[in-house]
Amino acid sequence: MISVDVRSVTKTWGETLAVDDVSFAVRKGDLVVLLGPSGCGKSTMLRLIAGLEEPAAGSIEIEGRDVRGLTGSARGVAMVFQSYALFPHLDVADNITFGLSVRGIPRQEMARRLDKIAALLGLEALLRRKPAQLSGGQQQRVALGRALIAEAPVCLLDEPLSNLDAQLRQELRREIRALQQRLGITMIYVTHDQTEAMSMADRVILMRAGRIEQNGTPADLYERPATLFTARFVGAAPMSLLDLDDGPSGAVVAGTTGPALFLGSGRGRVLGLRPEDVTVDIANRPGRFHVAVTAVEYLGAEALVTCMIGERPIMARTRGGSAPAVGATVGLVWDASAGHVFDAASGARLAIETGAGPLSTRLHTTANQGSTRA
């Protein structure tokens, strides 16, 4: 069942298009992340769903009802603001029950629901404190409590964790996701942090310049990025992007003479490779790119090794303990089917099967051959 249905929504600020003909649907009980760099229109999209802004064109349906002209609770949505927006002069209990008191809910009912929410979020001991007496994480919980107590079917969160330190962020990420699944509410969550998006979302909607770049599950975005932009944006370590050129027997990495990667033209195309798909091979066997290591980023369990192929850097992931030294010459190899090919001009993914050509099989390492679809 569809909980939030956004249809061809457009929003302009003067001359600029903040949201440009965006449509998507959110299933009931899903956590959908609106992801994108700052200025991509994701926060505006959230405010449009909240009713804090009205769209210039298009319509929004929440729980099967056109919500034009309604705001917030009247639409059945609650919101957690980036800066929490807690009322500084009210204590935690009054902050959480503010919405209920506005609607004139009886005192007893209010107290019952407050107890429930306080227990759910572990705020029992803090109810009489003022926001200024709380830590950032506690303030975040109060803001969440204020949104949840209304029991609105849809909860909107605008970069709720961006003001917290990394460890707390990770903790609250799990907590919010667990809460969302337990209560079965629909959440729309705005963030610019792709890790947050990938780890929490049922679906990720990646936005860019007011438009949807890609709408899919986290795995869709990671494994089959539809555009160069998605490929660059998603993934903790960025995808290595290599410009291609025409070689004598197929596409080659620009600035090199081979080996060929796939049959056909390489000019105007870009090959994308995830660091974990690239293997560093110390042994000097043929059919590999022999390159020098320019940088090693040690992360503990693993290390990111950067090398230059032609003029482009390529990253490979190795075990932390077995990373080569900077300056060492290594052989790089990857499973040909792991490559993503994009059109350089439009950024669109091309349906070129890098693992299908007869030439490419020569590139495979013995270790990787099991997974090749040759």
Partner 1 sequence: MPERRRPQLNVHVQGWLLALPAVVLLAAFTHVPAVATVIDSFFSTPHGRRPAAFVGLDQYRTMMADPIFRLALKNNLLYALITVPVSIGLALAMALWVKGSIQGRTALRLAFFTPTILPMVAAANIWLFFYTPDYGLLNQVLRALGFSSVNWLGSPATALPALMALTIWKEAGFFMVFFLAALQQVSPVLYEAARMENASGWLVFRRITWPLVMPTTLFVAINALINAFRVVDQVIAMTGGGPNNATTLLLYYVFQVAFNFWDSAYAAALSTVLLLVLAIVAFLQFFLLDRKIHYR
Interacting residues toward partner 1 by CB under 8 A:
50, 52, 71-74, 77-79, 81, 83, 85, 87-90, 98-99, 102-103, 130, 132, 146, 150
Distance in Å, CB of 92 to partner 1, minimum: 14
Q: Which is nearer to partner 1, 142 or 176 (CB)?
A: 142
Q: Which is nearer to partner 1, 75 or 203 (CB)?
A: 75
Distance in Å, CB of 269 to partner 1, minimum: 46
- What are the structure tokens assigned to 276, written together? 């974990």
Q: Which is nearer to partner 1, 39 or 72 (CB)?
A: 72
Q: Which is nearer to partner 1, 58 or 98 (CB)?
A: 98
Distance in Å, CB of 49 to partner 1, minimum: 12
Q: Which is nearer to partner 1, 90 or 168 (CB)?
A: 90
Strand order in the sheet with 329-334: 278-281, 329-334, 289-298, 302-309, 312-319
Q: Which is nearer to partner 1, 90 or 328 (CB)?
A: 90
Distance in Å, CB of 111 to partner 1, minimum: 18
As beta bridge partners, residue 80 has 157
Q: Which is nearer to partner 1, 78 or 176 (CB)?
A: 78
Question: Which residue carries 């917030």 as its tokens?
Answer: 72
Distance in Å, CB of 81 to partner 1, minimum: 5
The CA angle 353-357-361, to the nearest 5 degrees, is 110
Neighbours of 60 (CB within 10 A): 23
State the Cα–Cα distance between residues 310 and 175, nearest whole angstrom.
45
Distance in Å, CB of 83 to partner 1, minimum: 6
Distance in Å, CB of 58 to partner 1, minimum: 21
Q: What is the CB-side half-sphere exposure of residue 12 using CA atoms within 13 A?
A: 5
Give the pairing of strands 154-158 and 77-80: parallel
Q: What's the CA dihedral at 137, 38, 46, 133 to 10 degrees?
A: 20
Radius of gyration of the chain (CA): 25
